Structure formats: C-alpha cells, structure tokens
A and B are shown apart, each in its own frame.
Chain A
Amino acid sequence: MEINLLPKNEKGSVGLDKYKSKVYFFSTTILILYVVVGAAVSGWWFFLNNKEVEGDGQISSLTTQVEKLADVELAVHQTEDRANFVSKSLADRKLANEALNILQTGPEISAWSYVEDGLQTVTISDLKLSEIETYTTLLKSQFPTIKIATATRKFIDNWEGVIDLK
C-alpha cells in the first residue's frame, strides 16, 4: 500500500504541474500565431497606406501636369466635337441626285416641284398621251408609286401631263 505524506491542499498543484509543459506549449503556439497574424495585418495595412499616399501624390502631380495642358485639351476637344458634328451632318445629308435625274430623263420638263422627303410633281407638255405613259413607265423603277395626276389635251394630239412621282 502506497502512503502519500504531502498535505492535502498540495495534492492538486502537483496534479496541475503535470499539464504545465502542455499549457506552455499551447499558449506559446497561440501567442506566436497571434503575433504572426497581427504582424501580417499591420504590414498589409502599412503597405496599403503607403501605396494610397504614394498614389494620391502621383495623381496630384499628374493632374497638375494635365491641367497645364488645358489649352491643348480644349483645342483637341473642340476639333473632335466639330468633326463629329460635320461627320453626322454628312451622314444625314440628302442628295438631290435622285431628283436631279428627273431633269435629265425623258422629255423636256415645263414645271417641277420638289420637296425633300415629300411630294414631287413634274409637268411635261407637248406630248402624245402614249409618250406620257411611256415616260411614266420609264420612271417606275425609281418611283414605284408614280402616277399620272392629270392629263390635259391642249391640241389634237398634244397633251400636258402632271405626274406625281411620290
């Protein structure tokens, strides 16, 4: 039979001493991890902070340099703006070529009314009725909705035709 001669209250501390090395190891590991993570976060923060300050300074310097060339930027901007306007206007430009063809096709025209994107009427005179019809057929491909609005007999076989082109 084993006899323990230690006082009763010291029995517990001997029990805790058994875990001392394990607790130290665990605490030190946690502390090292804590310090490593803390250092990493602080380092990252310092790095970002420095980068931010450095970037702000660079932006400020570049902005000043760009602002010094404001007159150049203005000239470029105005030129680009005008070029865009001219380009757009050219794209919207409607040529009267189609209308001009009327003046060159077929018999002589005695009257012509042209409205851009609107009604176009042409008057031809001193023709036979069949000639007016031939002229209308000739222009059919260019003006699909062409029609003889009026045909007036001026003399025996002499007609005046008013033709709606559109």
Chain B
Amino acid sequence: MKRFLWLAYPLIVLVLIIFSINFFASGRLWAGLTRQKSKVDANRIQITKLTKKLALLKNVDLSKVNNENNYLQTLVPTSKQVPMLLTEIYQSATAAGVLVESYKGSVRDVTASASGEKMSLDVTFLVGDANNLYKLLQQLERRIPLLDITKVSFTLDKAVVTVSGLWYPVLKFTPDLTYEIVDSESKIAEINSKLVQYGVTVLPNVDVISIDKASETPF
C-alpha cells in the first residue's frame, strides 16, 4: 500500500481542479468581475463629471449670474406685467407724437403652465396720418425688445395696433447631478447682438453686461 502513497499528490491536485472548475467555468466569477469592471468605469466617468462640475460651480460668480438673470428679466418679465407694457407703449406714443385713445386686453392667471404665453393688447392710437403711424410703429419696435406687432388697422386718423409682449416665469429647478453648468455670457452677448440687429435702441439699464462685447454699434 505504501508503494501507492505517492499517487495521493496528483490525486489531490486532480480533485482540487475538478471541484473548483465548476466555480471557474460557471460564469458567475466572470460576470461578477465584468460587473465590477463596469461599475469602476462608470464611477470614473461620474467622478470626472462631478469634479468638472464642482470646479465650474466654484468658479461661478453668483452676483454676475444674478445680474445676467435680472437683465434677462427686463427683456422678458417673469409675469404678465401689463402696466409695464402699457407704460412702454405710452412712452413710444409720446416719442412718436401720437396719442393713445384706448386699449383693451385680458389679463389671465399667471401660472407656470401658461409660460411663454403672450400678453396681448389692442391699442387705439390717434395718429393723424400714415407718417405718424410709421413713426409710432418704429418706436414700438425699437423701444420694447420683445414686442410683436401682430395686427394694424389704420383708417383715416386712427390706428388700432395689436401688440403682444412676452413673459416667462421663474422655473424651480431641482439640483440635478447630470445638469452641466454653462456660462450664459456668450448667449447674452448673442442676444444683445440680435437686439442691435433688430434695431432695438432702448435697452434696460445693464451694469454688468458689456454691450461692447455684443456689438460695436452703440445703442
């Protein structure tokens, strides 16, 4: 019997392999390793994104962003500010040398669901002649940045002008890790450039926004 004892070693090796081959070949091990590898890769991507986002957030100048937001709110108010629109219309009429006879329009509830809805007003002006009407429309177009003249009906000395002003509420965004921080400065410069292009001559007072960046043309 002693003579066969040396066979125990290869037999143990064989048994070890036979018993563990099931574990190696079952696929569970490889699936587990693959899952971990994917998780590690996903973590790496997430860390890169978060690190970048954190760096950008730390570099944000909050007062500049708030000023930009305030500026944009003067272009498009956060609610239906009909009195403000009327004030602008009256000022335009005065500048064009015409009178406002009457106005009508409906002011509905200001809700986020109605965002982007226009506030529409029908304003009757005593214009006198077509030249004054021309001056008035030019004033309206250039004085109020996002005013849309949708209808004009001119007969004799009166003109009924339907104007639409935009408003857009302040939306409540919940923090989102996937949201990428963007600098709105270039977009605002683009907006200013378009306003100049559209002939808007009277812009709200802006301290932070550099008009020169948008265009060399002075307002």
Contacts and interface: CB of A to CB of B under 8 A. Distances in A.
B72 A83 contact: yes
A114 B151 contact: yes
Interface in B152-207: 152-156, 166, 168, 170-171, 173, 175-177, 179, 181-182, 184, 187-188, 190-191, 194-195, 198-199
Interface residues of B, number: 77
A52 B40 CA distance: 5
A90 B129 CA distance: 30
A90 B191 contact: yes
Interface stretch (A20-28, A131-139, A144-152, A153-161): A20-28
Contact of A75 (B46, B62, B187): B62
Given A82-B76, A116-B151, A62 B173 contact: no
Contact of B36 (A24, A49, A65, A89): A49
B112 to A, nearest CB: 12
B114 interface: no
B211 interface: no
A114 B152 contact: yes
Given A27-B10, A103-B134, A75 B65 contact: yes
B207 to A, nearest CB: 16
B130 A112 contact: yes
Interface stretch (B52-60, B82-90, B91-99, B103-111): B52-60
Contacts of A71: 62
A86 B66 CA distance: 16
Contacts, number: 201
A93 B148 contact: yes
B147 to A, nearest CB: 9
Nearest to B150: A116
Contacts of A70: 175
A55 B36 CA distance: 11
Contact of A100 (B3, B66, B72, B137): B137
A59 B152 contact: no
B76 A94 contact: no
A100 B141 CA distance: 10
